[in-house]
Amino acid sequence: MSASIVDVFLNWEVISRYLPDILGSLVYTIGLAVLIVAGGLALGTVLAVARSAGSRPLAALIVVYVDVMRTVPPMVYLIIVFFCAPYLGLTLSPFESTWLTLTLILAAFIEECVWVGIRTLPAGQVEAARSTGLSWLRTMRHVVLPQAIRMMLGPITGKIAAITKETALGSVIGLTEILGTAESASSNSGNPSTLTVAVVLYLMIFVPVVVGSRYLEKNWNWKT
Amino acid sequence: MAYPILEIVGLQKRYGDNTILKGVDLSVMSGELVCIIGPSGSGKSSLLRCCNRLESVQGGQILLDGEEVTRFDIDLNKLRQKIGMVFQSFNLYPHLRVLENVTLALRHVKKLSRKDANAKAVDALTKVGLADKLAARPGELSGGQQQRVGIARAIALDPKVLLLDEPTSALDPELVGSVLSVMKSLKGFGITMLVVTHEMGFAHEAADRVVFMDGGVVVEEGPPQQIFNAPQQARTREFVGRYTKGH
């Protein structure tokens, strides 16, 4: 047996040839992930606050949005965004399409987490803040959200880890992030070793995220 | 000259078909310490919570220093700066330090600078004997200390009336005394207080006036000597008797 598993999946010759390209693609994956987290957290929090504002129609609309975003596979939305945007007069690059799609999806999950956090907070917290004359919005910002988000930090970072790794979907619309680059390298070389590299890189990026989320969940609690 | 700072006239409060307050009349003079006593379910807490409109009001009027609290278009955020509230369960903000618990409203409601807010908060915390706990988290404090932070948070805004809703009911017996003595010292600073309490000893000794509520109405009010030693109403006699027998 000359073609051992090492030759197929850990072929150093192939790996060293394509490694610079793959490492270059890291920028896209990490940059995209950071922007998705920023956008998703911001939009998700705004939606959760809007949902608690007391308007039933608005709350219902947000629930519909959240459910729709969570139930359809992300890839479907990505394709819709990428291929439909031009008809709306928008030309979105693969990077922009992937960012927008995953931000909208992450926001739905974050909204759900933050909403649960808001609902779980004892009513006395809001009463105390309002009794000192703080407006509803300031109460949300200074008293409710800091506690709701910390309470739900575990689930929130879990969703972040789950959605940011979907940046790999960008490869289907030609985004040169890690998976896309590794995949085209493997078809060019006829050897899947570059995919092994992709696996290692994904582990290097997302294991810290997952471990970090577990750490935060454990250590961000405080006695009341 | 003492004048009525808080006037409650014919106050009615309903939850659905359940009438909690059936026309309550009560006035509190400036600088006065008034204790409300009565069995649970008598509407004491609801009465307090109507005064800063944490609860809606279905009938009657509340006037704070001549201003109608119960008007439908009143600016609640402005009103609430003038009425401090202390809660049975403290309701401190667990994610903020003691100092920040007190400065939050000073900074974002009174719009004080950080420096001025801190100075005012330290002053309030000194009054409750916690000037050495500024950097602590609420969770690191005893219940009695937490409630004193709750009091500091309320008095830092210089309210015209301080409402205290069973401030010692959630405390271990050995911690009750520290909170009660802080309340007595606040009276020395001229702070007007309306207190719902089950501490009959405190009401007897420290209150200027005691109000006995039962079934959503004020049954009897008067100086503590009258309520505790010579109650005029049979229901007052029965309630007070139950407490004094226990001692």
Walk along chain B (247 residues) and give the pLDDT tens digit of each residue: 689 999 999 999 999 889 999 999 999 999 999 999 999 889 999 999 999 999 999 999 999 999 999 998 999 999 999 999 999 999 999 999 999 999 999 999 999 999 999 999 999 999 999 999 999 999 999 999 999 999 999 999 999 999 999 999 999 999 999 999 999 999 999 999 999 999 999 999 999 999 999 999 999 999 999 999 999 999 999 999 988 765 5
CB A41 within 8 A of CB A103: no
CB B149 within 8 A of CB B127: no
Residue in A130, A134, A222 closest to B108 by CB: A134
- Chain B residues near residue A143 by CB distance under 8 angstroms: 93, 104
Q: Phi/psi class of residue B214: alpha, beta or left (left: φ > 0; alpha: ψ in -120 to 50)? A: beta
Q: Do residues B142 and B90 lie in contact, with contact meaning Cβ atoms separated by under 8 Å? A: no
The SS3 of residue A177 is: coil
User: What whole-number distance in Å separates Cα of residue A119 and Cα of residue A148?
Assistant: 8
Check if the beta carbon of residue A83 is closer than 8 Å to that of residue A17: no
Q: Please, which residues have CB within 8 angstroms of residue B25's CB and are 6 or more apart in sequence?
A: B8, B9, B10, B11, B218
Question: Do the Cβ atoms of A131 and B140 come within 8 Å?
Answer: no
Rounded Cα distance, B164 and A131, in Å: 12
Closest listed residue to residue A201, CA positions, set A68, A4, A5, A29: A29
CA distance A9 to A194: 8
| Residue A38 tokens, joined | 């920023």
Contact B67, B11 (CB under 8 A): no
**Residue B243: what pLDDT?**
80
- In chain B, residues with a C-beta closer than 8 Å to the C-beta of A127 are 54, 85, 87, 91
Report the relative pairing of strands B33-37 and B193-196 from DSSP bridges: parallel
Q: How far is B70 from chain A (nearest CA, A)?
A: 15
Residue among A104, B229, A121, A31 at smallest CA distance from B240: B229
What is the least distance, in Å, from the CA of B151 to any CA of chain A? Answer: 11
**Helix, strand, coil percent content, chain A, rounded in steps of 5:** 85, 0, 15
Size of interface A-B (CB pairs under 8 A): 76
Give the tens place of pLDDT for each residue, A3-22: 788 888 889 999 999 999 99
What domains can be seen in chain A, in order of their start residue? 2-219 (1.10.3720.10)
Q: What is the 3-state secondary structure (H, E, C) of B179-247?
A: HHHHHHHHHHCCCCEEEECCCHHHHHHHCCEEEEEECCEEEEEECHHHHHHCCCCHHHHHHHHHHHHHC
Read off the pTM. 0.89
